[in-house]
Amino acid sequence: MSPTKMAIREKAFKIIRGIFKKHGASEIDTPVFELKETLTSKYGEDSKLIYDLKDQGGELLSLRYDLTVPFARYVAQRGLSSIKRFHIAKVYRRDTPQMNKGRFREFYQCDFDIAGDYSVMLPDADLLAVIIDILSSIGVGNFIVKLNHRKFLDAMISLAGCEKRKFKAICSSIDKLDKESWEDVRDELINMKGLTTEMCDKLEKFVQYKGAPWDMLNRLKSEQVFVGHEEGEKTIKEMETLFTYLEAMNVLDKISFDFSLARGLDYYTGVIYEAVLTDTDRVGSISGGGRYDGLIGMFSGKNIPSVGGSIGIERIFNILEEKAKKEGSVRATETQILVTSMGKNLAPKRMEACAALWKEGFKAETLYVENPRTDKTFSYAFDNGIPLILIIGEDEIKNGMYKLKSLNEKKEYEFKVEDLIP
Site for a second copy in 370-409 (CB under 8 A): 370, 384
Cβ at position 350, least distance to a second copy in Å:
8
Closer to a second copy by CB, 334 or 419: give it. Answer: 334
What residues between 129 and 148 interact with a second copy by CB under 8 A?
Answer: 129, 133
Strand order in the sheet with 271-277: 26-27, 83-92, 106-115, 306-311, 285-291, 271-277, 143-149, 255-258, 210-211
Residue 116 interacts with a second copy (CB under 8 A)?
A: yes
Residue 317 interacts with a second copy (CB under 8 A)?
A: no
Closer to a second copy by CB, 93 or 186: give it. Answer: 93
* CA neighbor of 317 nearest in space, from 8, 22, 66: 8
How many CB atoms sit inside 10 A of residue 287's CB? 24
Closer to a second copy by CB, 81 or 197: give it. Answer: 81
Sorted by sequence, the CB contacts under 8 Å of residue 197 that are 6+ apart come out as 190
Residue 217 interacts with a second copy (CB under 8 A)?
A: no
Taking each helix axis from N to C terminus, what angle separates 230-248 and 150-159, rounded to the nearest 10 degrees? 150
What residues between 222 and 281 interact with a second copy by CB under 8 A?
Answer: 244-245, 247-251
| CA gap 7, 371 in Å, rounded | 30
CB 39 within 8 A of CB 93: no
State which amino acid sits at residue 225. Answer: V
What residues between 346 and 365 interact with a second copy by CB under 8 A?
Answer: 347-349, 351-352, 354-355, 358, 361-365
Closer to a second copy by CB, 31 or 44: give it. Answer: 31
In the list 11, 13, 15, 23, the residue contacting a second copy (rule: CB under 8 A) is: 23
Using CB under 8 A as the binding criterion, the count of chain residues that bind a second copy stands at 73
Residue 35 interacts with a second copy (CB under 8 A)?
A: no
Closer to a second copy by CB, 358 or 413: give it. Answer: 358
Residue 3 interacts with a second copy (CB under 8 A)?
A: yes
Residue 214 interacts with a second copy (CB under 8 A)?
A: no
Considering only 4-12, 170-178, 214-222, 290-298, which stretch makes contact with a second copy by CB under 8 A? 4-12
State which amino acid sits at residue 419. Answer: D
Closer to a second copy by CB, 1 or 99: give it. Answer: 1
Q: Strand, coil or helix: what is 118?
A: coil
**Cα angle 27, 32, 37; round to 5:** 115
| CA gap 310, 290 in Å, rounded | 9
Give the per-residue contact string, 73-112, with a second copy (x = CB under 8 A; - = no).
----------x-x----x-x-x-----------x------
Give the per-residue contact string, 321-340, with a second copy (x = CB under 8 A; - = no).
-----------xxxx-----
| CA gap 307, 84 in Å, rounded | 10
Strand partners, 108: 90
| CA gap 350, 359 in Å, rounded | 14
Residue 163 interacts with a second copy (CB under 8 A)?
A: no
